[in-house]
């Protein structure tokens, strides 16, 4: 059960720091460390969760100092940084060593993360920072009398994950507060770009369910995406949490275990014109 949090939290861009539990440690292997995290081009502080491999599980204790020095190297510029250790406690009473360093990862540069033990044993992961993609809305497609779809194209993008469409809407009733209705989506690669086909008509039913008995006004639509580096490629190209929670399934750590990737979160906000909104079923003020 604990291992299901490993990729789930990484995928949700929380990287274990915001999760309710820690990772089950690996015990009794010659590799020195397990590490998880990602470098974000939009983040001022980078974080990586480091777990030492022990001979016995009961040797793991938060009062014990961790034998680990974490260094990052910008392979392009040669810039080196030593990271700081922090001890994070989770809601279930478990804990984790989360190393951090304040810097902005530079797009298109490659970074190497080295975790070194006092005896010299080292686990290493490398990742290339992707460019922030730009979202472009294409003209909506109206099929029949009410079926409306709209494609959003993201470029440049190596891969998009964690796509979320948010509808900011309110009831026609005067003074009613706005609500955000979330609908998850998936992106598909099309040439050099990634596209998301938004079912505006189908999502209308989801939105109006939050406003029973009242017509609905749509204020805006917001799509957020997480653009990641090419290392985020699961077996078969499918992000199956049950499969990815198994050790070694998504792994880019040399002489160790885990995954350290790179990504950047971007968003796009828009509102279809009044004709399209009326066709979908929204009330146009």
For the chain, 285 residues long, give each residue's pLDDT as a single digit of tens: 333 333 344 443 334 333 434 445 555 567 899 888 889 999 999 999 998 886 444 445 666 788 999 999 999 999 999 999 998 887 777 778 899 999 999 999 999 999 999 999 999 999 999 999 999 999 999 987 778 999 999 999 989 988 999 999 999 988 889 999 999 999 999 998 999 999 999 999 999 999 998 999 999 999 999 999 888 776 655 555 445 445 556 789 999 988 899 999 999 999 999 999 999 999 998
What is the per-residue pLDDT for 246? 54
- pTM comes to 0.80
CA-based angle 68:22:8, to the nearest 5?
115
Contact 193, 138 (CB under 8 A): no
Q: Using CA atoms in the order 25, 27, 33, 39, what is the torsion angle rounded to 10 degrees? A: -30
What is the per-residue pLDDT for 88? 83
Residue reference for tokens 């999502």:
203
Residue 79 to residue 103: CA distance in whole angstroms: 11
Q: What residue segments make up the domains of the chain, in order of their start? A: 4-131+230-262, 134-227+267-280
Q: Which two tokens stand for residue 109?
A: 């540069």
Phi-psi region of 93 (alpha: psi -120 to 50; beta: other; left: phi over 0): left
Note the CATH number of domain 4-131+230-262: 2.60.40.380
Decide the pairing of beta strands 33-40 and 256-270.
parallel
What is the per-residue pLDDT for 240? 52
Phi-psi region of 69 (alpha: psi -120 to 50; beta: other; left: phi over 0): beta
What is the per-residue pLDDT for 128? 95
Residue 89 to residue 36: CA distance in whole angstroms: 16
User: Torsions phi, psi of 272, nearest 5?
Assistant: -60, 160
Q: Annotate 39-67 with b (16+ C-beta within 10 A) or e (fewer).
A: bbbebeebbbbbbbbeeeeeeeeeeeebe
């Amino acid at each position: 059960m604990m291992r299901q949090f490993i990729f789930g939290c990484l995928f949700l861009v929380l990287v274990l720091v915001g999760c309710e539990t820690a990772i089950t440690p690996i015990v009794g292997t010659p590799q020195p460390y397990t590490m998880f995290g990602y470098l974000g081009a939009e983040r001022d502080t980078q974080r990586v969760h480091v777990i030492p491999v022990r001979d016995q599980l009961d040797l793991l204790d938060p009062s014990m100092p961790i034998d680990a020095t974490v260094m990052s190297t910008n392979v392009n510029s040669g810039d080196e940084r030593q990271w700081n250790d922090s001890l994070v406690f989770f809601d279930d009473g478990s804990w984790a060593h989360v190393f951090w360093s304040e810097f902005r990862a530079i797009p298109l540069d490659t970074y190497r993360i080295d975790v070194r033990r006092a005896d010299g044993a080292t686990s290493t992961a490398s990742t290339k920072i992707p460019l922030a993609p730009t979202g472009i809305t294409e003209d909506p497609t109206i099929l029949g009398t009410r079926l409306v779809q709209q494609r959003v194209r993201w470029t440049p993008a190596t891969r998009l994950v964690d796509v979320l469409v948010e509808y900011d809407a309110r009831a026609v009733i005067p003074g009613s507060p706005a609500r955000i209705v979330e609908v998850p989506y998936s992106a598909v690669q099309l040439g050099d770009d990634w596209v998301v086909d938004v079912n505006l008509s189908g999502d209308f039913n989801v939105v109006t369910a939050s406003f029973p008995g009242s017509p609905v006004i749509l204020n805006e639509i917001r799509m957020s995406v997480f653009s990641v580096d090419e290392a985020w490629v699961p077996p078969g190209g499918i992000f199956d949490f049950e499969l990815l929670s198994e050790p070694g399934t998504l792994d880019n750590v040399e002489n160790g275990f885990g995954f350290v990737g790179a990504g950047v979160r971007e968003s796009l906000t828009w509102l279809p014109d009044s004709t399209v909104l009326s066709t979908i079923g929204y009330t146009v003020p």
